[in-house]
Structure 1
Amino acid sequence: MKVILSIKPIYAEKILNGEKTFELRKSIFKKNNINKVIIYASSPISKVIGEFEIDSILHDEINELWKKTKENNGVEKTFFNDYFENREKGYAIKIKNTKRYKVYYNIYEKYGVKAPQSFSYLED
């Protein structure tokens, strides 16, 4: 099964360029059989631009999550702290096998769904 993740364009680019190998999340999917992520670059791009496979998902206390991902999470410590403010734990999706699409897609035309606030499931 796949999910579509809404990701800010700056971070979507870092993922597809290989400099961001952990995608940080406050919450994560409830289904266990997710193996691929479709990247929806949010505004101003507002297109599906690529995909990646999930290597693993870390779930840890915020300080430990920073220690484990700081080299490859693509964000500054101040952003990380603000993002996870008032949270005891967070998630980091370890990224592998990225693929940038040659053509960027309108999410509704391609998948029949509206852009998710965070993520949405897609059947294979």
Structure 2
Amino acid sequence: MKVLLSIKPEFAEKIFEGTKRFEFRKSIYRSKDVRTVVVYVTQPVGQIIGEFDVEEILCETPDELWALTSDFSGISKHFFDEYFSGRTRSFALAVGDVRRYDRPLDPSDLIENFTPPQSYMYVNDELGRPSTGQLSLAV
């Protein structure tokens, strides 16, 4: 199973360049079957540009998470602190192998009535990688 995440353009680029090896989240999906993140880049891009494998999910206090991830966070400490302000738990997806698609995909062509997810959206790719054109909402 895959999950689609909305990621800002500057952070998505850093993930595919390899300089951002952690994707931070205030909350995390519940399914233990998710192994791959499909990357929807928010506006002004508004397209699905690739995917990455999740090596592990870290759940720590913000201070502990920063200590573990800061070298490859791809963000500033100030941005991190503002993002997790007031939180006692914070999450990071450790980015594994990345696959940038040859051509970006318009999510509206793949998912009926597509609305970018605020946190995440489960997606299903029944034919397995790399047939991402087969993405559909998971049942």
TM-score range for the pair, normalised by the shorter chain length: over 0.9
SS of the counterpart of 1:15? helix
Letter in 1 for 2:120: F
After superposition, what is the alpha-carbon deviation per residue over 1:30-69, rounded to whole angstroms, capped at 9, x for unaligned?
1111000000000110000010000000000110000000
Confirm or deny that 1:12 pairs with 2:15.
no
Q: Counterparts of 1:1-124 in structure 2 under 5 Å?
A: 1-112=1-112, 113-124=114-125
Q: Which runs of 5+ in 2 are unaligned?
A: 126-139
Q: CA deviation at 1:114?
A: 2.5
Q: Which runs of 5+ in 1 are unaligned?
A: none
Find runs of 4+ consecutive structure 1 residues off by over 3 angstroms: none
Q: TM-score, normalised by structure 1?
A: 0.96
Distance 1:51 1:111 in 2: 16
Identity value in percent: 39
Q: Which has the higher strand share?
A: 1
Distance 2:93 2:77 in 1: 18
Distance 1:123 1:46 in 2: 20
Distance 1:95 1:84 in 2: 20
Segment of structure 1 superposing worse, 113-122 or 62-71? 113-122
> Which one has a bigger Cα radius of gyration?
2
* Larger RCO: 1 or 2 (CA < 8 Å, sep 6+): 1
